[in-house]
A and B are shown apart, each in its own frame.
Chain A
């Protein structure tokens, strides 16, 4: 069974940093690109970042470029999102998601999400 389990969320002050993790199981993690997608409370979905299977290709939404860093450790089946200079508008439920397809631009599998709250 495919599982994506996020962790690392919490309450953090504006300007501080936080690192999210997503542990994958039930599939060959190293074969697929991975994404972070977020959802502010009561709002819609926003794509945040993408990393290719071998980390060669990395893309960010303009809203987080220069502040967030996506990375992965294929030996540990884990995806990361390092978030710095956090702002109140970064408050959201953060999902990791994958197309489970080498060329997929959709999101077939999602984790349950980890909540990040940026507030003083």
Chain B
């Protein structure tokens, strides 16, 4: 199975900051890497698909990059509403797997 390692586990941020979250795969997943946001007591929401493709309705401050084994989700100007847990997920091979998440909190 492909193991996805997300770092850091927790990130303390100040509103307005530009931040980057990392997701590293145990083997190449090409660009079959997707990002989700999960707020407390809510279902996950798809933010980015295929590593860098934007999703309709998602604010433009969210962007993704990477290929192979190293991926990054960036938020350009964090807002209070962005405080959530962020998960990466690979769809290159079955079983589909998720990273353990990065929790964004206020500094």
Smallest beta-carbon distance B6→chain A, Å? 9
Contact partner of B44 among A50, A59, A104, A110, CB < 8 A? A110
Complex interface: chain B residues within 8 A of A35 (CB):
96
- Judged by a CB distance under 8 angstroms, whether B43 is at the interface is yes
Q: Count the A-B residue pairs with Cβ separation under 8 angstroms: how many?
A: 52
**Interface positions of A from 1 to 48, Cβ below 8 Å from B:** 35, 44-47
Interface size on A, residues (CB 8 A): 19
Contact A105-B96, Cβ < 8 Å, known A45-B87, A113-B43: yes
Instruction: Give CA–CA (A79, B89) in the complex, Å.
Output: 22
Complex interface: chain B residues within 8 A of A111 (CB):
43
The closest CB in chain A to the CB of B50 belongs to A106
Contact residues of A: prevailing secondary structure: loop
Instruction: Give CA–CA (A112, B38) in the complex, Å.
Output: 12
Pairwise interchain contact B87-A106, C-beta atoms closer than 8 A: no
Indicate the size class of the contact surface on chain B: 20 to 34
Complex interface: chain A residues within 8 A of B96 (CB):
35, 47, 50, 105
The closest CB in chain B to the CB of A93 belongs to B43
- Judged by a CB distance under 8 angstroms, whether B34 is at the interface is yes
Pairwise interchain contact B43-A95, C-beta atoms closer than 8 A: yes
Given contact pairs A105-B91, A108-B55, enumerate 5 new A-B contacts (beta carbons under 8 Å): A45-B89, A95-B43, A95-B44, A106-B34, A108-B49
